[in-house]
Every structure is written in structure tokens, then in C-alpha cells.
Amino acid sequence: MKRTTHNQNGYKVCYKEEGKRSYVRYFLTYTYNQALRAKNCYIRYPPRERETGRKLNNPKWAIIPVTEKEVQDGIWRECPF
């Protein structure tokens, strides 16, 4: 996927724990700068998993563009956190 700083659908800040294969969406933003700022804050102060509250095991953070299919499926109707 081509990396770009402009995507009209928004961006997801996701993490992948050590030993896992898939990314988990943690935060949803409209702009790349907002996503970058959120990512930098989470790296500095690593959060806990939302469902169980356990500490994340060495998470790797990534900014992933929201796809058109995700928009059609209603990603922006969900809570952005």
C-alpha cells in the first residue's frame, strides 16, 4: 500500500503486540497529523487493552489509512476510541 499523508477517509492508529499477526485499531482520526500526534502520545505512555485492561506486550504502533470499504461499512458511525 502506498504511504501518503492525505487520505479523504481518515486514518487509524493501530497496534500489534509482540507475537501477534494482526493489527488492532485503537484510535480513529480525520487527518494524518492528528494520527501522528496520537501515536506519539501512546508510544510515550503505553495504554492498556480496552476490553480486559491488561498491559500491552511490547506493542508496535502503525498509522493505517481508512479504506473506502470501511467507510461504507460504517466505521465513522462507531466510537473513535
Report pLDDT digits (tens) over 40-64: 887 777 788 888 889 888 889 999 9
In a domain, 32, yes or no: yes
In a domain, 31, yes or no: yes
Residue 50 Rama label (left phi>0; alpha psi -120 to 50; beta): alpha
In a domain, 4, yes or no: no
Q: Which domain holds residue 55?
A: 11-77
In a domain, 57, yes or no: yes
Three-state SS for the chain is CCCCCCCCCCEEEEEECCCCCCCEEEEEECCHHHHHHHHHHHHHCCCECCCCCCECCCCEEEEEECCHHHHHCCHHHCCCC
Q: Decide if pLDDT at 2 tops 70.
A: no
pTM for this prediction: 0.78
In a domain, 25, yes or no: yes
Q: How many domains does the chain have?
A: 1
In a domain, 6, yes or no: no
Pairing relation of β-strands 60-65 and 11-16?
antiparallel
In a domain, 3, yes or no: no
Split at pLDDT 50, 70, 90, the class of 72 is confident
| % of the chain with per-residue pLDDT over 90 | 32
